[in-house]
Structure 1
């Protein structure tokens, strides 16, 4: 099967003519003020940029428009510990491919604890196979944050799916981030599509992908070596003593 035939999401359009005002959140975010459409890579699309530029807000909007819980989980998760998501999903048009995904998951670093708690609550209520078994069988609360994240990547992501990840590197060591590249590749080879908001130059190094950088100037496609994340890290390690001296003096 050609990967183009299982590109589950082809494009994201912002219905600009329906937006009530670009002076109020979330439409006043730099990336949304000028956003018209984003063409997604059939395998992996990265959203990168500094905090406050709107990459996680857009990722959340896409997830909600697809039917995911704003706090994360699979399409079957409907818990809510707080209602803080924006109305952006109502103004997004998702251009889908021909095939429908068989699996899906929205993973958010900031609310993954709530997902783990919801799993335990569902298993206490019973009524079917234990949900935790699909995450490796061990309570996510009994593992470190990084271990529970990685257990989700390895066990819960089954392939033939759409996976949205918001800053997955938050709990992962550099070595685990490299291991995640292998897992991303495995999922791509299993007919999956991923959209990932990240600050990690390691993760965004996955070669068969689009990188969209969110900035005050809007959203622009970049090569890895053109991104601020890559250039800053490269400059730091190539001239570490000078950078440290400048930072500490200032």
Structure 2
């Protein structure tokens, strides 16, 4: 995937851009690299988070150049599902620092550690994400139930209509149904192409399974 990006210009318009592809295709690596190049902590959080638990990010972020339209977003956040636990721990630490402004009210008034994983994700979307923001999300559906994904979709749509921009790596056919979103699919050759909803890999795979689960299971289980 990195080779396919060499010398290429990627433009992300306003609203929501989704990245889809098989595991290992590079979609999460690309979101992470863009986040790092834009000044976010590699493990997630806002640009003010500077902790490091275990360095695992790729070097791609240092090779990207980010160009931005005039104007500055009012809010920003990088949500990396696999390391949000670490972000929550850092949030608690910062909130306890003497003389500092309390941070938990912006996350619903309670530490994410006091909520389920899915509830803490929805708290983040509801309370921390605001209009005219820039939000990079890596597989946010990882902790969400079906209803949780529907709630997330509604909140993302609401924020989009208020001027926010999202880049989201996902496997969720529910989130991909967001009206007006652009879907970029990373193919087996590492190439990027825009696809309509009905042809996106997670949508096709889910529909094939739901159309005849028994047939799919016979094929898988022999």
TM-score (norm 2): 0.95
1: CA distance between counterparts of 2:88 and 2:185?
31
Q: Distance in 2 between matches of 1:210 and 1:60?
A: 19
Higher strand proportion (structure 1 or 2) = 1
CA-based RMSD: 1.0
Aligned with 1:156 (options 120, 128, 141): 128
Name the CA distance, whole Å, in 2 between partners of 1:34 and 1:119.
37
Counting matched residue pairs gives 219
The residue that corresponds to 1:247 in the other structure is 220
- For each residue in 1:28-65, what CA deviation from the matched residue of structure 2 results, as whole angstroms up to 9, or x when unmatched? xxx22212122213100001101111111110111011
Pick aligned residue for 1:60 from 21, 27, 32? 32
Hey, what does 1:44 align to over in structure 2?
Answer: 16
- For each residue in 1:159-208, what CA deviation from the matched residue of structure 2 results, as whole angstroms up to 9, or x when unmatched? 21100000000000011101111101111122100000001011011121
For the residue of structure 2 that corresponds to 1:95, the secondary structure is: coil
Give the aligned partner of residue 32 of structure 1.
2
- Equivalents in 1 of 2:9, 2:188: separation in Å? 17
Which ranges in structure 1 are unaligned for 5 or more consecutive residues? 1-30
Q: What residue is the counterpart of 2:194 in the other structure?
A: 221
Q: TM-score, normalised by structure 1?
A: 0.85
Q: Which runs of 4+ in 1 moved over 6 A?
A: none
1:1-250 correspondence to structure 2 within 5 Å: 31-35=1-5, 36-217=8-189, 218-249=191-222
Secondary structure of 1:98's counterpart equals coil
8 Å Cα contact 1:41-1:209 kept in structure 2 = no
Quote how far apart the aligned CAs of 1:129 are: 2.4
Matched residue SS, 1:93: coil
Q: 1:43–1:192: 8 Å Cα contact kept in structure 2?
A: yes
Unaligned runs of at least 5 residues, structure 2: none
The DSSP-based 3-state class of the residue aligned with 1:229 is helix
